[in-house]
């Protein structure tokens, strides 16, 4: 049976309710959580919490995303581990069917169509998976 990864109909908003950022105080991995009820409010309240140094901001400012790395000259980024896993599943599914038509109709739907072109590029897939693995490990250790 072919295990194809289908677009679950998710949107970036589904991932962006919490995201991993770099703590400006200790440079380790911290979390920003947004208020779900206010998802469509651009000025929604964001709470910053660093579990390493305890830094807390009730109205978090802008912070650099933690899950960000360079891959073949492109920047691979994700809001959080779920988002990273989503990209990984997509790339793995595409690897499995690499002999088939690249731009199958259903891959162009929903969130998939928003993935940057280089992520869909066959020649980048192995490197993307390596970068994803590396990024995931930095979350476990809490530092780059
Ligand atoms: Zn910190």
State pTM to two decimals.
Answer: 0.78
**What's the rounded Cα separation, in Å, for the pair 105 and 125?**
20
> How much distance in Å is there from the Cα of 138 to the middle of ligand 1?
15
Beta strand residue intervals within 27-99, DSSP E: 29-34, 46-49, 56-57, 68-71, 74-77
Q: Where exactly are the structural domains of the chain? A: 4-141
Q: What does the alpha-carbon distance between residue 72 and residue 19 come to, in Å, rounded to a whole number?
A: 24
Distance CA 20, CA 18 (A): 7
Q: Using a pLDDT cut of 70, give the percent of the chain over it.
A: 72
CA angle 71, 34, 108 (to 5 degrees): 45
pLDDT of residue 17: 83
Q: Residue 73's pLDDT is what?
A: 94
Check whether 106 has a pLDDT greater than 50.
no
CA of 51 relative to ligand 1 center, distance in Å: 7
Question: 3 CA to middle of ligand 1, Å?
Answer: 40
Task: Count CB-CB contacts under 10 A for residue 86.
Answer: 22
CA of 16 to the centre of ligand 1 (A): 21
- C-alpha of 91 from chain center: 13
Asked whether the predicted pLDDT for residue 121 surpasses 50, the reply is: yes
For residue 47, the CA-to-ligand 1 centroid distance in Å is: 14
Pick the closest to residue 82 from 18, 131, 128 (CA basis).
18
- Mean pLDDT across the chain, nearest whole number? 81
52 has a pLDDT exceeding 70? yes
């Amino acid at each position: 049976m072919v295990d194809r990864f289908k677009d679950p109909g998710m949107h970036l908003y589904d991932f962006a309710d919490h995201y991993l950022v770099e703590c400006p105080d200790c440079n380790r991995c911290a979390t920003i959580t947004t208020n779900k009820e206010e998802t469509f409010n651009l000025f929604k309240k964001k709470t910053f919490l660093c579990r390493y140094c305890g830094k807390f901001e009730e109205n978090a400012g802008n912070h650099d995303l933690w899950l960000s790395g360079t891959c073949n000259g492109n920047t691979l980024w994700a809001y959080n581990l779920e988002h990273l896993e989503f990209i990984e599943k997509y790339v793995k599914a595409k690897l499995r069917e690499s002999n088939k038509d690249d731009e199958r109709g259903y891959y162009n739907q929903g969130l998939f169509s928003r993935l940057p072109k280089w992520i869909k590029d066959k020649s980048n897939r192995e490197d993307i998976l390596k970068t994803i693995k590396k990024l995931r490990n930095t979350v476990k250790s809490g530092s780059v």
